[in-house]
Amino acid sequence: MVTAPGTGHQDPSAEVLTEAAAAFGLLASPARLHIVWALIQGESDVTGLAERVGGALPAVSQHLTKLKLAGLVRSRREGRRQVYFVDANGQAAVVDVVRLLVGRLAERDTAAAAPARRLRGL
């Protein structure tokens, strides 16, 4: 790490920045972001995720594979099905950012729509 002049703060290494950029790059897809958001709420199998995010089963499965490779989600076998969940030990900081950002944007969207709904009901 290099200390930034005049700040006393250390800059992250190139490797750390590359890893972070890769994780954020994966989340640049609305479908993957929705999948991570859904898994933050609770674990699910690929069929449940496909229904929730409105995606085709093969596409959701491919997204899950990429998210697993990035360490954002994990899976375990339960009988004949794979159950996916957020990896709290892997990229927990990235998942926290998703939780905060998407949660705040959703709250803002809900708050902005609330007055319009009330006006329609008058």
Q: Tens of pLDDT along the chain (122 residues)?
A: 555 566 677 888 888 888 878 888 888 889 998 999 899 889 999 999 999 999 999 999 999 999 998 888 999 999 999 999 987 776 677 777 777 777 777 788 777 776 655 555 54
Helix (H) or strand (E) holding 77: strand 73-78
**Domain residues of the chain, as ranges?**
23-110
- The pTM of the full predicted model, rounded to 2 decimals, is 0.72
| Closest residue by Cα to residue 40 from 82, 83, 98, 90 | 98
The C-alpha atoms of residue 19 and residue 89 are separated, in whole angstroms, by 16
CATH of domain 23-110: 1.10.10.10
pLDDT score of 9: 79
CB-CB contact of 66 with 32 (8 Å): yes
**Other C-beta atoms within 10 Å of 91: how many?**
23
Q: Is 67 exposed, middle or buried (0-12, 13-18, 19+ CB in 10 A)?
A: buried
